[in-house]
């Protein structure tokens, strides 16, 4: 059984494109969207689709949102996706999931390729920051039991990468061609977006150090 978990914060303009693709994929058993205290119409947009919508009253951060999604999931294979993907297709999903389904690895990490230069370069330099992942359920459960996930926020991807290395898990990086995502400066405007990016890097450095 495959469960897809999408943490979302103020993604009314983007998440529908992701959900439209996911609803076309037959092997998905459930889609869980964790609306992380959004102040826009994210809840309204998501409610148009037959998915499990979890609404958090306040913005708790990505780590806490992911944990809530994992706790609600029934699948033995869990897929994490960002809500702001551009160019996402069923083929990308299959590339991300198949190696885990075939037991060729314990975790896949999706890396953007041939999408946009800025996002491609960022993920080439730091693929461990990717939010596109597939993991076996028991790996995820062990991870959240061993980690204070709620305080990780944007550092959750780094924490997952560190955990996989410490536990000697089999990790496969998967190239997701012609795919990218919306950058914070595009969502929020340059100044607010830049501040949000600095906060993200702060969360990441806390985990990395």
What is the Cα–Cα distance from 163 to 113, expressed in whole angstroms?
25
Q: According to the model, what pLDDT value does residue 154 have? A: 60
pLDDT tens-digit map of 158-183 = 888 888 999 999 999 999 999 887 76
Between CA 155 and CA 173 the distance in angstroms is 19
Report pLDDT digits (tens) over 61-111.
888 899 999 999 999 999 999 999 999 999 999 999 999 999 999 999 999
User: How does pLDDT run across 106-133, given as a tens digit for each residue?
Assistant: 999 999 875 555 544 444 445 456 889 9
The pair of three-digit structure tokens given for residue 90, joined into one six-digit string: 């069923």
| pTM, rounded to two decimals | 0.82
Q: Which CATH superfamily is domain 2-181 in?
A: Spore Coat Polysaccharide Biosynthesis Protein SpsA; Chain A (3.90.550.10)
CB burial of 45-69 (b: ≥16 within 10 Å; e: otherwise) equals bbeeeebbbbebeebbbbbbbbbbb
pLDDT, tens only, 11-60: 999 999 999 999 999 999 999 999 999 999 999 999 999 999 999 999 99
Whether the CB-CB separation of 45 and 51 falls below 8 Å is answered with: no
Ranges of each domain in the chain: 2-181
Beta bridge partners of 32: 5, 52
Other Cβ atoms less than 10 A from the Cβ of 125: the count is 9
Backbone dihedral angles phi then psi of residue 141, each to the nearest 5 degrees:
-65, -45
């Amino acid at each position: 059984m495959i469960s897809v978990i999408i943490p979302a914060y103020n993604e009314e303009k983007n998440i529908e494109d992701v959900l439209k693709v996911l609803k076309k994929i037959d092997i998905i058993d459930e889609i869980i969207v964790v609306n992380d205290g959004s102040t826009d119409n994210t809840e309204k947009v998501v409610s148009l689709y037959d998915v499990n919508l979890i609404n958090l009253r306040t913005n708790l951060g990505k780590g806490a949102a992911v944990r809530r999604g994992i706790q609600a999931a029934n699948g033995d294979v869990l897929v994490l996706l960002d809500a702001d993907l551009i160019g996402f297709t069923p083929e990308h999903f299959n590339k991300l999931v198949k190696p885990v389904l075939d037991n060729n690895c314990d975790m896949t990490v999706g890396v953007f390729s041939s999408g946009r230069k800025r996002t491609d370069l960022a993920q080439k330099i730091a693929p461990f920051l990717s939010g596109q992942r597939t993991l076996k359920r028991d790996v995820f459960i062990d991870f959240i039991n061993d980690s204070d996930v709620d305080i990780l926020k944007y550092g959750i991807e780094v924490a997952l990468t560190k955990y996989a290395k410490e536990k000697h898990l089999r990790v496969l990086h998967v190239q997701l061609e012609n795919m990218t995502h919306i950058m914070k400066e595009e969502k929020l405007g340059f100044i607010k977006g830049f501040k949000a990016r600095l906060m993200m890097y702060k969360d990441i450095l806390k985990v990395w150090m």
